[in-house]
Structures are given as structure tokens and as C-alpha cells.
A and B are shown apart, each in its own frame.
Chain A
Amino acid sequence: MPVRVDLVKAIVAKDLRVFLRDRFYVLVTVMGLVFYVLVFWLLPDTVDESIGLGVHIPGGEQLIAQQAGAGGGFQIVPFESREALEAAVTDGSEVAAGLDFPEGFLEQAATGEETTVRVVLSGGAPEELRPALVGGVREIVAAIGGGEPPVALPTMSDVVLGPDRTGQQLSMRERMQPLLVFLVLIVEMFALASLVAAEIAQKTVTAVLATPTRVRDLLAAKATLGTGLAFVQAMAIALATGALLQAPLLLTVALLLGAILVTGFGLIAGASGRDFISIVFWSLLFAIPLTIPAVAVLFPGAAADWVRGLPTYGLVETIVGVTAYGEGWAQAWRSLGLVAVWCVVAFVMGLAVLSRRVERV
């Protein structure tokens, strides 16, 4: 038998009123939205990919000035003394490494006399930096001596697969966008779980089910409210962060699926929890794995295979794809399809657990 729309509407209206009467929910919701939007706009929207390289080369200030504009990923900063260079590398804020040339280096290099250059690295310098610096020193020596590299360099051409973001890595702002949306969804999962658990703990559900309301009406109402609250807030975040400007329909569908997904898990958590602590426990049990794909975006490199199997991976992939790479339906449909399957799984599980719990009150 179908659900009775009038009863579902009455329960949703009541639940919304209960939600809005709870100062904690309202405070967390409003503060969360404001805070997330602020964080988004305060984050840098560009990535500085150059590495600061300190150089101390007695008598070679002019040469340094020439090299400073050479690029190659290094931002060269001159230092007047070895001590100043070492202090700067230790501090790490201006330069990540340094080259300390000995007295008379220019003459020695020009005559081919053997000499030693000190490479100064901080303890936390990446492993790849050392060979890069060695290569840099060789280049400088070659420039001073007027020599050429011992082999002929082949001609190279670049092939970039997908949108060309070379030199334009994902900024922190772009990386954080899926995480901010997820935080909103996760907070709403807590709120829904709490509402459901309160209904069970206070046994108001018994009173409701002693009226012509059926379990399916109650479940439909909870699902509608949970999905609605999560979706509206996720959309608000997407709108406030400008994400909706790109492929609005695609992103709307993605966020709706995300809202349905967390509602399913919220229903499970709410039906399983008996008090505040157990609700927190159950919600965290779902929240942590659900958030991992959004956190994984923060770090460079491909996500592990098991992360790709998490319910929210497809959602994160879609949000990043749309907002950062301008992807469309052609690229996103597989990811969204996977999310839709997870939505069905979570929702069916949520309704089953809640239905069982409600009937046992």
C-alpha cells in the first residue's frame, strides 16, 4: 500500500518544528554553514609550486641575479654569508635548501679545477630535492665555464591527458570543497540520527503508531526530512562557494544522491542508538569512512583501491571533476551510478533497521 501523503506531511512538519526548537541543532547547523563558507573563501585559491633556494657564492652576486629569473621551479635567494644561509634553511620559511659555494669558486670552475660545493638541506627536505640541487649546481658550473652538457638532449613534446592543469595544481580551496560539503552532510546525519533516536527513546513513536499512521508513513516522513535537510544545506554550501556555477544540474543530482546516502546511514545510526553517546558512536562509525574520500582529495596522488570502494568516493570524484576539471555527464555518470547503488543499499538497510526497531518499541 502506498504511503499517505497527508500523514507524511504532518510528521515532516512536526519533525521540522522539533528540529528548529532544538537550539543545539540550529546553532550547529547555522554556525557550521557560516564557518564552512568562511573557511572556503579564506583558503588560498592558487598554488605556489616554486621552491626557495638560498645561494651563498662569494663574488658571484651578478651571476645569481642572472639565475634568479631562470625559473626551473627554483626561486633563488642570495645570502651574504654561510651562517645567514644556514640560518635561513633551518628556519625554512623563505628557502627549503641552499647552495654554499666556496671562496674562489668562479675562478676554479672556469679553469676546471676541482672544488667542493656544500648543499644545505633542512631535516624535513623531500628526498627528490638533493638530486635536483646537484643538477642545478652542474648547470651553474656549465654556465660559468661556458661548457655544454656531454650528451645531446632529445626534442620532447608534452601530451596531457584530460584538462591541462600543468602548473596549476588543485588549490587548497578546490581541494577543500568536497570536504566542506561532506561536513554539512555528516552533521545532518548526526541530527537525523538524534531525531530518530529521540522519537524511539521517548516512545512517542508508540503513540504515533497507535493512530492510523503506519510504519511506512513514519519511515517516509523521516527519510523525507533527513534528505531535505541535508540536501538544502549541501546546496547552500555549493551555492555559497560558487560550485553550482559549473554544471548546476549535474552537481544538484550529485548532492541529492549524497543527501539520500547520509540519510540512509542516519536512519541506521538513529535506530541503533539508545542514548546520545551511542548515537555519536554509531554516527562516527559511518561518518569516518564516508569522509575518507573527501580527505583523500586533500593529498596529492591517487587514492588507494579500497578508498575507491567507499560509498562516497564517486560523489567526491564527481564534485572534484565538475568543479576543478569542468567535467560533465559523460565523465560523471559512472561515478554517480555507483553512488546511486550505494544510496539504495544504505536506504534499504536504514529503513529495515528503523522499521524493526520501531515495531519493537
Chain B
Amino acid sequence: MTADDIGEPAADPPPADPPTAERPTDAPPPGDDGVALRAVGIGYAYGDLVAARDVSFAVAKGEVLGFLGPNGAGKSTTIKMLTGQLPPREGSIEILGLPMPDKREEIQTRIGVVFEEKNLYPTLSAHENLRFFGKLFGISDVDADGLLERVGLAGRGDERVSRFSKGMQQRLMVARALVNNPEVLFLDEPTDGLDPVSARSVRQLIREEADRGAAVLLTTHDMHEADELSDRVAFINDGTILALDTPEALKLQHGRRAVKVRFAADGVVQEEVVPLDEAAGARLAELVARPDLITIHTEEATLEDVFVEFAGRRLE
């Protein structure tokens, strides 16, 4: 398997020259220091049910890779294999130059995970939760207040988690994932259940972590979030990766661009969408020339559109 096959990241993401989905970004050689996480042909099955199959990709330091797919696509299973919760049945994983699961303990001291489930200790306070996990990482003096401040929970440290709203618990989970100042962050639906303001602050935090140099693997089924945060995105469906590239490249290569024209024909407002292809010019000129023209808007493809093209289904 070559570096291209496994979707190695560009040395300086995002790349200047967007590649195609089939041919991912220019890849550094295997074992390059810039790569924080590399999965090659990994797979897992729960009994007869294949949850992930021949999954290959890499994430560079400082890069955010969005892992997009509907529920049951294999995102969480892939994260479980990468974080050492499940042993891959096939393929190999290398994190920070160390093989997983052989060097699981060493790797786990350097990674942070936000789980899909809100798995905090409800009867403990936010401080106690953070300090307990700090101890598990061998850190006796966790800056719990600093972490809580970063996720917008300053002053709430002594409250029991059971009194927190879902959004507050989600933010505390993000803070917990940062307890050990991780070099690789696995975020499974980190903004799920958050109000727009909280979601924005968590996204900002993720960006800050990537800017600090952490490699971030972000699973989500929110295409807008993936588009906003990710340097590259991978589409996963039925346990396999369908496409892997920068959001811009995917949209350019596979998304449909169009112009939406609204006009009032016989007093009734109508609209027409003209795809931007070779034949668009004449029809567009005809519409623009109409005296009853109301508005003209360009329409760019979304990642959702591109996903539908690849998977034949929507994300929800």
C-alpha cells in the first residue's frame, strides 16, 4: 500500500493545488515526522456485522481531519480502534510513531478523547472529574480552573456534574480530553447537543488545539461544522472510506454549482436553477434579460451534496 492509497496529509495543509478525491493530497513519505496518526487497511467486525473495512488515512500534526458519515457508518468503531478500545482485526495503526495496540499505554498518555456518550461521573464535581482523570494520566496538579475557563465553565468547578445541562457536560468532556495536553485529539461528535454559542466556542477550542500542533480527528455528521473546521474530510459509509480530500477540492470536483434565478411571470414568483456547465451560458443570458427578473444567486455545492453523490444517501 502506498502513501497515496492511505490518504496521507499534505505537508502544509490545506494544499495549494486541490487534489481529487480518488487521488488525495500530496503525501509525505511514510514515517515522516509530520504525520501524527496513520491507519493502514484497518477493519473490525462485531460478529458477522462488518463495522469498518480497509480503512486507511493519516492525520498530520496541526491538522483537523473531519470524519463524516451517517450514524452506523463506522466512525465510532474506527475511533475505538485508534484509541485502543478495540483491537483492529486487520491492518495497522501508528500514532506518534508508535504502533497501536502494542504501545497502547504509551500512546494513551499522549492522546485525548471526547466520547460520543456523556461518560462523566455525575456525583462528582467538575473539578473532581478533571482531577481524577489527571491522576490517571499521572498528573497530580491539573489546572482544572484553567481548563474549565477554556470551555466556558469558569466558576462552575465545584458543582456536581449531575446538575449540569447536556451542553455543559459536553463542554466538560472536551475539557477532560485536554487534561494531559494531548498531541492527538479524537473528538466523537464534540458539539452534539450544544447550543449554537457553545458549539462555536468548542469549535474555536478545537482550532486552537490544532494551531498548537495537535492532530485532530473529528467525527461529525454536521457538514457545516466539518466544512468550517476541517483541513481535510473523509467520507465514510458502510465501514469504508469513500473519499478523502480538502472540503474545497471535494466540492469543486464533485459538487454541482448553479445559479438560481427568481422572476415574476404573470405576477407569480418563480425560480429556476441553472447548472453551471457548458450549456448554461445561453439559458442564463436569456433569464438575466427578462424584464420581470427579481434576484440572481450563485449556488455552491455543500459537502452534504458531495456526500450524497458518493454514498447515495443523506447524512441523517
Contact, CB under 8 Å: B119 / A207: yes
Contact yes or no, A211 B123, CB < 8 A: no
Contact B132 A14 (CB under 8 A): yes
Count of interface residues, chain B, beta-carbon cutoff 8 Å: 24
Cβ of A113 < 8 Å from any Cβ of B? no
* Proximity bits, A11-43, B CB within 8 Å = 1, else 0: 100100110011000000000000000000000
Given A17-B124, A17-B128, A18-B124: A206 and B119 interface contact (C-beta under 8 Å): yes
Q: Mark A243-258, 1 if CB is under 8 A from B, else 0.
A: 0000000000000000
Contact A204 B120 (CB under 8 A): yes
Q: Which residues of B contact A204 (CB under 8 A)?
A: 119-121
Interface string of B74-90 (1 = CB under 8 A from A): 00000000011100000
For A212, list chain B residues within 8 Å (CB). Answer: 105, 108-109, 136-138
Minimum Cβ distance to chain B for residue A217 (Å): 9
> Bound complex: CA of A21 vs CA of B160, how far in Å?
10
Overall SS of chain B's interface = loop
- Whether, in the assembled complex, A169 has its beta carbon less than 8 Å from a beta carbon of chain B, the answer is no
> A10-B135, A14-B132, A212-B137 are contacts. A206–B124 as well, Cβ < 8 Å?
no
Q: Least Cβ distance of A346 to chain B in Å? A: 28
Q: Do A213 and B136 form a contact, CB below 8 Å, given A21-B124, A207-B176?
A: yes
Does the CB pair B121–A211 fall under 8 Å?
no
Measured CA separation A211–B177 after assembly (Å): 10
**Contact of B65 with A by CB under 8 A:** no
- Contact bitstring B117-144, A, C-beta under 8 A = 1, else 0: 1011111100010001101111000000
Inter-chain CA distance A212–B135, complex, in Å, is 10
Number of A residues with CB within 8 Å of any CB on chain B? 21
Per-residue A-contact encoding for B204-225, CB less than 8 Å = 1, 0 else: 0000000000000000000000
Tell me whether A207 and B113 are in contact (CB under 8 A). Answer: yes
Query: Which B residues lie within 8 Å of A210 (CB)?
Result: 83-85, 108, 111, 113, 115
Residues in B neighbouring A22, C-beta threshold 8 A:
123
Within 8 A of B (CB), among A189-238: 202-204, 206-214
A211 interface neighbour in B115, B120, B137, Cβ under 8 Å: B137
- The reply on A7 being an interface residue by CB < 8 A is yes
Q: Confirm or deny: A114 has a beta carbon within 8 angstroms of a beta carbon on chain B.
A: no
Residue of A nearest to B46 (CB): A360
The residue that A14 contacts in the complex, of B113, B119, B121, with Cβ under 8 A, is B121
Neighbouring A residues of B133 by C-beta, 8 Å = 207, 211
Q: Given A6, A11, A14, A206, which contacts B85 in the complex, CB threshold below 8 Å? A: A206
| Cross-chain contact of A209 among B85, B117, B124 (Cβ < 8 A) | B85
A7 near B136 (CB under 8 angstroms)?
A: yes
Set A18, A202, A214: member contacting B105, Cβ < 8 A:
A214
The CA of A82 and the CA of B59, in the complex, are separated in Å by 103
A202 to B119, CA, bound (A): 6
Which chain A residue shows the least CB distance to B111? A210
User: Contact between B119 and A18 (Cβ–Cβ < 8 Å)?
Assistant: no
CA distance A225 to B211 in the complex (A): 43
Give the B-binding residues of A (Cβ under 8 A): 6-7, 10-11, 14, 17-18, 21-22, 202-204, 206-214
Cross-chain pairs A/B with CB under 8 angstroms, 6 sampled? A7-B135, A7-B136, A14-B124, A202-B121, A207-B113, A212-B109
Other contacts beyond A10-B132, A210-B108: 18, CB < 8 A:
A6-B135, A7-B136, A14-B121, A14-B124, A14-B128, A14-B132, A17-B123, A17-B124, A18-B123, A18-B124, A22-B123, A204-B120, A204-B121, A207-B119, A208-B136, A210-B84, A212-B108, A212-B138
